[in-house]
Amino acid sequence: MAKMKVHSEVTGSVWKLLKKPGDRVAAGDEIMLIESMKMEIPVLAEEDATVAELHVAETDAVQEGQVVATLDAG
Amino acid sequence: MSQQLSFDDLERDFEERAARARAMGGAEKLARRRASGSLNARERIAHLADPGSFTEFGLFAQSAREPDRSRSPADGKIAGLVRIDSRPAAVVSNDFTVMGASSSTTNSRKIGHIKDLAVRRGLPLVFLGESTGARMPDVMGARGIAAGERPTQYRRMRETPWVSAVLGHCYGSSSWYAALSDFVIMRKGAAMAVSSVKLTSMAISEAMEPEDLGGWRMHTDVTGMADLAVDSDEEALDAVRRFLSYLPSHHKEAPPRGPVGASFEPDGDRIRKLLPLERTKVYDMRKVVDCIVDRDSMFELKARYAKNVVTALARIGGHVVGVIANNPLHKGGAIDVDACEKSTSFMVLCDSFNIPLLFMVDQPGFLIGIEGERRGAIGRVMNWMNAISLVTVPKFSLIIRKTYGQAVLNMGGGGNADVVLMWPSAEINFMDPRHAVTIVHGVKREEDPQRFDELFAEMAKDTSAYEMASAYNGHLVIMPEQTRGTLRELLESTGLRMTGGIGEHLMRTWPTSY
């Protein structure tokens, strides 16, 4: 199964994890919320997939471009 | 006594020659293409054009090299005039079954002629790209590559819209014309690069796939050179038609007026449900755009590139507009280098073809940081300001929620739009007041919450739409459900009435890629 890396678009901190490994996501679903610029900015699934792994925990600092999750495509 | 030729003989000879030329690279190659799901060069024109509207130029063109004449029907590039939705246009379709549609003396002359005709006579130009680059051995040596009589071959002055569809491997001319075009569609599986994978791999001693070198993800996500990626030739050609339906045939013509959208009643309720008033929440601005414009009229360009800004052609009351809208769903709407390039490029397109601009504003400022500075953020911000100052089509700026900093001006505030509208939800400031308290007074909320809150109140005051209206820095405060009607009135009453809808085109020679 093809692996898809999901990146944070912003530098900030993990506000809330909304999915866990094993959860199905549809394209456009929110996987987690990153707090940045005093806003809750979602990390979105680009395609239908299953969450394979989350690489961050709530309150972790994240950098723009950092891989925060891996999904199994399909 | 010699036999006298008759017109019947001439006609027979003519039909035989035409049939040989139309056979392209031969039945076997065409069958292989069909099996792979690709249309051939002539089928692509047939799908794009109104039925029976193709007038071909250069059917009998051939390679200038004697040994190649018989195997180069139309010299590998099929060109001529078509009608697209009844409007005349010019088309060049690369025939990959003939010598890889490589560029040569004869077919360069053909393309140059069609291009010249199009720009001088006001015809949109469509390139259907799939080609291997310059033909060898024709182009080798000093007499090959250095020959040329067309100093304006790659000059782009935006007299007419140019559209490129990248439908296969595109190296050389197909890539160059895509780079020069106003709208580029890529078929998934196609690739576009300076040189082929084979040559590039040899040059840098590194194996690679075409997808890595110049596939659709590269060009829609990273370079922004492709506006749209699709799954088939047919979808690509349909997108060409759709893009052209928003544009005039040439820059001395106003964009075509469409019918008023099926539903023009106010969508204020839908907007109220979509738009969170809490500052911390984000939303997808595209859904708000959809509420403002005529139903189903939104046609997004570069949807996958710099998602923090939306650039879309649309209609309001049948009038074509170009929408530039911050999208808080991505990066909170903060504007980075790619968003600057995307917005600037879109302003150049709209201004060059007489399309009014609508800025829809919800942004926390420019995305600052080392990476942006390394990529020349300062210059990109100023390119945008230079561009917006040169725009002569009508500009409207609608402030939806927050707008901070220099970007207030980039998004049409501070005198950079003809009319500034605000919803009561608007908040206008130089800087996020939270940051301002710390920067100016050195106070952090976690250290001294009471003092912080006092100073915050000071920094956050006078930021409402009514304050902006009070100084007449903004011209109208309206409720969301009044937006469609107000914009329609502005488009009809404050358009380019004295020049028949035609702008001054001060950016017609702006670079096509940067």
Kindly state whether A18 is in contact with chain B, defined as any CB-CB distance less than 8 angstroms: no
Q: What is the pLDDT of residues B502-514, one digit of tens each?
A: 999 999 999 998 8
Number of CB pairs, chain A paired with chain B, less than 8 A apart: 39
Phi, psi of A13 (to 5 degrees): -140, 155
Scan for tokens 């969170």, then name that residue: B276
Kindly state whether A39 is in contact with chain B, defined as any CB-CB distance less than 8 angstroms: yes
Q: Enter the tokens of residue B468.
A: 């902006």
Which residues on neighbouring strands pair with residue B315, listed in sequence order?
B320
Percent above pLDDT 90 for chain A? 92
What is residue B281's three-state secondary structure? coil
Kindly state whether A9 is in contact with chain B, defined as any CB-CB distance less than 8 angstroms: yes
For residue B137, cis peptide bond before it (omega within 30 degrees of 0): yes
Q: Classify domain A3-73 by CATH architecture.
A: Beta Barrel (2.40)
CA distance B115 to B407: 39
pLDDT at B475: 98
Q: Enter the tokens of residue B352.
A: 């060059």
pLDDT at B349: 98
Does the structure show a pLDDT above 80 at B150?
A: no
What is residue B466's three-state secondary structure? helix
pLDDT at A74: 77
B332 with A11: Cβ contact below 8 A: no
Q: How far is B310 from chain A (nearest CA, A)?
A: 16
Kindly state whether A42 is in contact with chain B, defined as any CB-CB distance less than 8 angstroms: yes
Chain B hits for A4, Cβ within 8 Å: none
CA distance B354 to B357: 9
Please give the ipTM for the structure prediction: 0.93
Does the structure show a pLDDT above 70 at B264?
A: no
b/e sequence A12-41, b meaning 16+ C-beta within 10 Å = bebbebebeeeeebeeebbbbbbbbbebbb
Rounded mean pLDDT, B122-149: 86
How many Cα atoms are found within 13 Å in the side-chain-facing hemisphere of B435?
11
A37 with B281: Cβ contact below 8 A: no
Q: What is the pLDDT of residues B320-378, one digit of tens each?
A: 999 999 999 999 999 999 999 999 999 999 999 999 999 999 999 999 888 899 999 99
Q: How far is B124 from chain A (nearest CA, A)?
A: 35
Q: How many residues comprise chain A?
A: 74
Q: How far is A20 from chain B (nearest CA, A)?
A: 22
Cα B220–Cα A31–Cα A53 angle in degrees, nearest 5: 95
The phi-psi region of residue A65 (left if phi > 0; otherwise alpha if psi is between -120 and 50; otherwise beta) is: left
CA distance B470 to B126: 50
Nearest chain A Cα to B327, which residue? Answer: A41
Q: Are B360 and B399 in contact (CB under 8 A)?
A: no
By C-alpha distance, which of B125, B70, B126, B68 is closest to B102?
B68
Chain B hits for A64, Cβ within 8 Å: 369, 371
Q: How many residues comprise chain B?
A: 514
Summarize chain B as % helix, strand, coil (round to 5).
Answer: 40, 20, 40
The two domains B7-244 and B268-426+464-499 share their CATH topology (first three levels equal)? yes
Task: Choose the mutation target among B222, B280, B445 for the interface with A, i.e. most A CBs under 10 Å.
Answer: B280
Cα B55–Cα B58–Cα B59 angle in degrees, nearest 5: 80
Look up the pTM and report it. 0.95
Does the structure show a pLDDT above 60 at B300?
A: yes
CA distance A57 to A15: 9
pLDDT at B133: 83
**Is the Cα dihedral B340, B345, B351, B355 positive or negative?**
negative
Scan for tokens 């806003």, then name that residue: A39
B281 with A40: Cβ contact below 8 A: yes
Looking at domain B268-426+464-499, its CATH class is: alpha beta
Segments of B319-423 assigned E as strands = 319-326, 357-363, 395-404, 419-422
Pairing of strands B419-422, B476-477: parallel
Q: Where are the domains of chain B?
A: 7-244, 268-426+464-499, 431-462
Kindly state whether A46 is in contact with chain B, defined as any CB-CB distance less than 8 angstroms: no
pLDDT at B248: 98
> Does 3.90.226.10 match the CATH number of domain B7-244?
yes
DSSP B211-275: HHHH-HHIIIIIS---SEEESSHHHHHHHHHHHHTTS-SSTTSPPPP-PPPS--S--HHHHHHH-
B331 with A42: Cβ contact below 8 A: no
Which residues on neighbouring strands pair with residue B301, listed in sequence order?
B311
B432 with A37: Cβ contact below 8 A: yes
Q: What is the pLDDT of residues B168-202, one digit of tens each?
A: 999 988 999 999 999 999 999 999 998 888 888 88
pLDDT tier at B406, thresholds 50, 70, 90: very high
Q: How far is A25 from chain B (nearest CA, A)?
A: 18
